[in-house]
Amino acid sequence: MAKFKFEYIWLDGYKPEANLRSKTKVLEFDSYFGELDVLPEWSFDGSSTQQAEGRSSDCLLKPVAVYPDAGRKHAWLVVCEVLNPDGTPHPSNTRCLIDDDSDDYWFGFEQEYVLSENGMPLGFPKNGFPRPQGPYYCAVGAGNVAGRDIVEEHMDLCLSAGLGITGINAEVLLGQWEYQCFGKGAKSASDDLVVSRYLLFRTAEKYGIHVDLHPKPIKGDWNGSGMHTNFSNMEMREFGGKELFESICEAFRPVHKDHIEEYGSDNHQRLTGLHETQSIHAFSYGVSDRGSSIRIPVSTAQSWKGYLEDRRPASHADPYRVTARIIRTVKSVETKNFASLLVPA
């Protein structure tokens, strides 16, 4: 028998945004290769995470996804849902909001974040500000980027864990970075993002650096941080058509406020209509328009097949809430009958 470390990861009950929590469980197996069904449920003190009261404090962690952890020896990362003692989903369990987890829905998150130290982004002078934004996006070189060691180490850990990381880049604000995380199925894609955030926080912790996910970390003439969410279903990818894409975009218009409620707090500080955003009070869409609520990528508009980008989610948004809300809106559109399209004329 060998001992393995399993890091049980979950979202707590803090509002308006949940925090990541984790604790390590040591289990013995002859061998272990990522089997989910052999991992037991585990209780924790919900009174310390805003998920229970002290007189009845036990909550349950139910493993739902497991990933190898290259940052520790004989270790695995375990995403968990939080359950009540009777096994029902806890009110803080946003993963259970997703009612369609089929591979029909694909999601790509563009996770922006700021690495900071002593309350200021890395690379900022002790007094004052650096040069105005402009030289920092996708930049290289001292004075143009800061924190690359952390970013590279984080990417390697994510790739070793099997996460759907598709790229990284320095962002518009000095000390700000982005990585892209893709997955098929809302739960799987969101699980990947949760683990990627956990690994980012843990990596930065080693360097004594803070990861800031606030949507407007620095006030003034600086870009905020978002979690742009790209999405598609089979009809968008395989059948397409301008009418279909415009119908989907229009379906978002009357429920704009409903989406904003799911997309993270303090987002009004970022969605001002400036710095590549649309105002939080307006809804718009357009081809290649980064100042719109929904951007239609130029690659999609060329053939009217592909995906859409929702640019409204804040950088600290809950991916389970975001994907659940997007699926609900897309499903409200009267779509074509796949079967009739597949039958030869």
State both tokens at 56.
């009845």
- The values of phi and psi at residue 43, to 5°, are -90, 160
Closest CA to 215 of 109, 110, 318, 114: 114
Q: Alpha-carbon distance 52 to 219, whole Å?
A: 36
Instruction: Transcribe 248-292 into DSSP letters.
Output: HHHHHSTTHHHHHHHS-TTGGGT-BS-SS--BTT---EEET-TTS
Strand order of the β-sheet with 2-11 is: 20-29, 2-11, 75-83, 58-68, 42-45
CB 343 within 8 A of CB 329: no
- The values of phi and psi at residue 117, to 5°, are -145, 130
Write down the pTM of the prediction.
0.95
Closest CA to 138 of 177, 97, 99, 88: 177
Domain residue limits, the chain:
2-95, 106-331
State residue 177's pLDDT score.
Answer: 98
State residue 149's pLDDT score.
Answer: 97
Helix (H, G, I), strand (E, B) or coil at 234: helix
The CATH classification number of 106-331 equals: 3.30.590.10
State residue 55's pLDDT score.
Answer: 85
State residue 169's pLDDT score.
Answer: 98
Compute mean pLDDT per 10 residues along the chain, 345 residues long, and list them.
97 97 97 97 97 91 98 97 97 97 96 96 91 94 96 98 98 97 98 98 98 95 96 97 97 98 98 94 97 97 97 98 98 62 44
Helix (H, G, I), strand (E, B) or coil at 295: strand
Instruction: Transcribe 155-167 into DSSP letters.
Output: HHHHHHTT--EEE
The CATH classification number of 2-95 equals: 3.10.20.70
State residue 195's pLDDT score.
Answer: 98
β strands within the chain, DSSP E: 2-11, 20-29, 42-45, 58-68, 75-83, 106-117, 120-121, 165-170, 176-184, 210-212, 227-232, 285-287, 294-296, 308-310
Report the interhelical angle of 242-252 vs 319-331 (nearest 10°): 120
State residue 214's pLDDT score.
Answer: 98
State residue 339's pLDDT score.
Answer: 41
